[in-house]
Amino acid sequence: MKFDVITIFPEIFNAYLNESILKRAAEKNLIEVKIHNLRDFTTDRHRTVDDYPYGGGPGMVMKPEPFFNAVEHIKSDGVRRQVVMLAPQGKTFNQDMALSMAGQNQDMILICGRYEAIDERVRSLVDEEISIGDYVLTGGELPALVIIDSIARLIPGVLGDERSADEESFACGILEYPHYTRPPDFRGLKVPEILLSGNHKAISQWRRKEALRLTILRRPDLMSRYAPGLKDEDYKLVSEIKEEENKHEYD
């Protein structure tokens, strides 16, 4: 899967993309990330990418011409790509969207804005606008990296163990269970005995229960959405969790 990123700060991407999982994925040709400097698609000698807004107001607005030139240049090879603009007004990105995009395996162009805004006419190039949350950043570079990372790790072969993505938070609608490693006792903080028992069935049930517990306590909004997918054994675990938490509250 290929990601073409349009930005005025290409250097931002180098450190992150050249480390760890994404670097190995690129080396194995599972993903390709190409960074395009928007200034290379300007037509004036000053390589201008912004100008004052019509109608007045604070800040500068990014000009339409460089974006049109960049997208048309990238698409000139005839390969079909989804064009995504990173914008606060966009649909909020989540794990379901990442799974869908990874499953489609369609190449993407990611447009990163800066300054006050991007000229509204650039939206005519865009298939989808995406936000990574209800807050404003200084540019679209961090959201672009978030999207690349979250999609790439779902592509078969990118992670060392394919089961990792299946068991993570949000993968099945609820948060992930707690993890522990050596030592079994660290400064009096002990690993739950069940995890040292070797009883895989009991461990699996404990993990399921603790995943449900975390979701109930920390993300009740997810729990309400996931409720229709609960199994009979899940309802029993939820009942136990509520009893335990009520008892803990009054102890």
The full DSSP string for 186-249 is ETTEE--GGGGS--HHHHHHHHHHHHHHHHHHH-HHHHHHHGGG--HHHHHHHHHHHHHHHHHH
**Percentage of the residues of the chain whose pLDDT score is greater than 70:** 95
Q: Grade residue 168 by pLDDT with cuts at 50, 70 and 90.
A: low
Does 115 reside within a domain? yes
Contacts of residue 221, defined as CB under 8 A and 6 or more positions apart, other chains included, come to: none
Judge if 173 and 226 occupy the same domain.
yes
pLDDT of residue 22: 97
Provide the CATH number for the domain around residue 198: 1.10.1270.20
Dihedral pair phi/psi, residue 220, rounded to 5°: -60, -25
Structural element, H or E, at residue 77: none
Structural element, H or E, at residue 39: none
Does 158 reside within a domain? no
Judge if 137 and 182 occupy the same domain.
no
Judge if 146 and 187 occupy the same domain.
no
Does 138 reside within a domain? yes
- Using DSSP's 3-state secondary structure scheme, residue 182 falls into coil
Looking at 87, 119, 152, the residue that finishes a domain is: 152
Encode pLDDT of 36-66 as tens digits: 999 999 999 999 999 999 999 999 999 999 9
- Using DSSP's 3-state secondary structure scheme, residue 45 falls into coil
What would the mean pLDDT of 181-189 be, rounded to a whole number? 96
Looking at 102, 126, 152, the residue that finishes a domain is: 152
Residue 165 above 90 pLDDT? Answer: no
Judge if 32 and 121 occupy the same domain.
yes
What would the mean pLDDT of 186-208 be, rounded to a whole number? 96
Does 162 reside within a domain? no
Does 164 reside within a domain? no
Encode pLDDT of 80-119 as tens digits: 999 999 999 999 999 999 999 999 999 999 999 999 899 9
Q: Grade residue 224 by pLDDT with cuts at 50, 70 and 90.
A: confident
Judge if 116 and 238 occupy the same domain.
no
DSSP structure class, residue 41 = G
Judge if 234 and 129 occupy the same domain.
no
Looking at 152, 182, 206, the residue that finishes a domain is: 152
| β-strand pairing of 50-51 with 61-62 | antiparallel
Judge if 125 and 190 occupy the same domain.
no
Does 160 reside within a domain? no
Judge if 119 and 17 occupy the same domain.
yes
Dihedral pair phi/psi, residue 87, rounded to 5°: -150, 145
Provide the CATH number for the domain around residue 57: 3.40.1280.10
Q: Which domain holds residue 50?
A: 2-152
The full DSSP string for 59-74 is S-EE-HHHHHHHHHHH
Total number of domains constituting the chain: 2
Closest CA to 153 of 13, 25, 36: 25
Per the CB < 8 A criterion, the answer to whether 32 and 26 are in contact is yes
- Residue 66, CA atoms < 13 Å, CB-side half-sphere: 26
Judge if 56 and 143 occupy the same domain.
yes
pLDDT of residue 251: 64
Judge if 44 and 119 occupy the same domain.
yes
The mean predicted confidence, pLDDT, of the chain is 94
Does 213 reside within a domain? yes
Judge if 105 and 195 occupy the same domain.
no
Structure tokens at 218: 């920390």
Judge if 91 and 208 occupy the same domain.
no
Dihedral pair phi/psi, residue 28, rounded to 5°: -90, 5
Q: Grade residue 163 by pLDDT with cuts at 50, 70 and 90.
A: low
Does 159 reside within a domain? no
The full DSSP string for 91-148 is EEP-HHHHHHHHHHT--EEEE---SSEE-GGGGGG-SEEEESSSS--S-SHHHHHHHH
Distances (CA, A) of 192 to 42, 148, 181, 239: 60, 36, 11, 21
